[in-house]
């Protein structure tokens, strides 16, 4: 008896996941690139900084201009001084061009709906590909831990434009800085958050970062710096009056003078102030005797 023919093997249901390469997912794919910014990106960085100031409701504190950014950034090798990573997105894969330096390619994300970007034209990247748009940035620079005797990175700003938020881009930007820190053997990545910004603190905790509750930042700024480094009260007062153009001739009478001699004295650090202005200044003061 001839053996019954075996039943045909079941046709395996093809899995759609493996019929397409990973780089072209179904839906509304968004390809992501994080790359080192250069001087030619300053107009984008300037606009992003102003959007950040608006987001933090501090536009009156923001005095950044394109020329001031150009003058202070990109003057040193990246990672050893102030460094900017730009986040770029595109509906099409990025060509493997050698143009962008230090590029990171986070995983492509898939959206239910394409992003409607009202500022697409303004934030169009300089890349040859017309669809590439700048969506965010991170500015960071090296800091140092004496206890570890190792450098780290401090993130000054991390910002994603409104229409690209809640898609994991913040984490991608932070990860790119962390990856660079690991590559350079650095010990820490730090940043600051506002204590009432619940989302920022949640993000911080999700990243596995420790929130240092006990530390407070002290900041000397503007006149504060000048006042500190001027060693005496008379010089501080002199400087304030000088800046306000009230002190072309300023007689400062210090109580407790023993001799009453009038000695023309230029305050310490006078030179650095007078270099910027050429007004001749006389300071007549009664010098307090040295206390023994």
Site for a copy of itself in 173-202 (CB under 8 A): 174-176, 178-179, 181-183, 186-196, 201
Binder to a copy of itself among 141, 165, 237, 240 (CB under 8 A)? Answer: 141
Give me the 38-57 binding string for a copy of itself, x by CB under 8 A, dash otherwise: -----------x--xx----
Q: 3-state class of 256 per DSSP? A: coil
Residue 81 within binding range of a copy of itself, rule CB under 8 A: yes
- Give the whole-angstrom CA distance, residue 145 versus residue 151: 6
Region of residue 199 (phi > 0: left; psi between -120 and 50: alpha; otherwise: beta): alpha
Residue 250 within binding range of a copy of itself, rule CB under 8 A: no
Binder to a copy of itself among 54, 55, 80, 122 (CB under 8 A)? Answer: 80
Please state the closest distance from residue 192 (CB atom) to a copy of itself, in A: 5
Binder to a copy of itself among 54, 76, 114, 277 (CB under 8 A)? Answer: 76
- Give the whole-angstrom CA distance, residue 285 versus residue 253: 6
- Cα 238 versus chain centre, distance: 36
Residue 211 within binding range of a copy of itself, rule CB under 8 A: yes
- Candidates 10, 78, 50, 280; CA nearest to 157 is 50
Contact (CB, 8 A) for 206 and 198: no
Binder to a copy of itself among 259, 262, 277, 282 (CB under 8 A)? Answer: 259
Binder to a copy of itself among 2, 3, 4, 212 (CB under 8 A)? Answer: 212
Nearer residue to a copy of itself within complex by CB, 138 or 247: 138
* 124 class by beta-carbon count within 10 Å (0-12 exposed, 13-18 middle, 19+ buried): middle
- Candidates 48, 37, 46, 39; CA nearest to 100 is 37
Nearer residue to a copy of itself within complex by CB, 128 or 275: 275
**CB under 8 A: which stretch of 92-100, 121-129, 226-234, 241-249 binds a copy of itself?**
226-234
Binder to a copy of itself among 214, 245, 246, 279 (CB under 8 A)? Answer: 214
Long-range interactions of 232-238: CB distance < 8 A, separation 24+: 234/267, 234/285, 235/267, 235/268, 235/269, 238/267, 238/283
**CB under 8 A: which stretch of 31-39, 86-94, 222-230, 246-254 binds a copy of itself?**
222-230
Nearer residue to a copy of itself within complex by CB, 130 or 195: 195
- Give the whole-angstrom CA distance, residue 278 versus residue 143: 38
Q: 3-state class of 201 per DSSP? A: helix
Nearer residue to a copy of itself within complex by CB, 22 or 121: 22
Binder to a copy of itself among 39, 54, 55, 68 (CB under 8 A)? Answer: 68
Contact (CB, 8 A) for 137 and 156: no
Vertex 29: Cα angle to 24 and 35 (nearest 5)? 95
Please state the closest distance from residue 119 (CB atom) to a copy of itself, in A: 19
């Amino acid at each position: 008896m001839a053996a019954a023919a075996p039943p045909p093997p079941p046709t395996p249901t093809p899995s759609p996941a493996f019929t397409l390469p990973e780089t072209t997912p179904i839906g509304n794919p968004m390809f992501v690139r994080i790359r080192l910014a250069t001087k030619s990106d300053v107009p984008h960085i300037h606009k992003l900084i102003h959007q950040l100031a608006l987001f933090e409701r501090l536009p009156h504190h923001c005095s950044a201009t394109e020329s001031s950014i150009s003058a202070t950034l990109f003057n040193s090798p990246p990672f050893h001084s102030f460094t900017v990573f730009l986040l770029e997105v595109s509906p099409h894969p990025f060509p493997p061009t050698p143009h962008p330096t230090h590029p990171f390619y986070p995983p492509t994300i898939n959206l239910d709906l394409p992003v409607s970007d009202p500022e697409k034209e303004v934030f169009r990247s300089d890349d040859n590909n017309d669809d590439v748009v700048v969506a965010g940035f991170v500015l960071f620079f090296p800091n140092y831990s004496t206890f570890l005797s190792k450098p780290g990175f401090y993130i000054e700003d991390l910002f994603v434009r409104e229409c690209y938020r809640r898609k994991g881009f913040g984490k991608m930007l932070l990860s790119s800085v962390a990856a660079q820190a690991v590559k350079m053997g650095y010990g820490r990545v730090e940043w600051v958050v506002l204590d009432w910004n619940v989302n920022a603190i949640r993000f911080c905790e999700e990243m596995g970062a420790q929130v240092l509750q006990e530390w407070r930042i002290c900041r000397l700024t503007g006149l504060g710096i000048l006042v500190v480094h001027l060693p005496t009260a008379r010089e501080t007062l002199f400087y304030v009056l000088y800046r306000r153009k009230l002190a072309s001739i300023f007689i400062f009478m210090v109580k407790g003078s023993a001799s009453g001699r009038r000695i023309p004295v230029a305050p310490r650090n006078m030179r650095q102030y007078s270099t910027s202005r050429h007004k001749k200044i006389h300071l007549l003061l009664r010098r307090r005797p040295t206390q023994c």
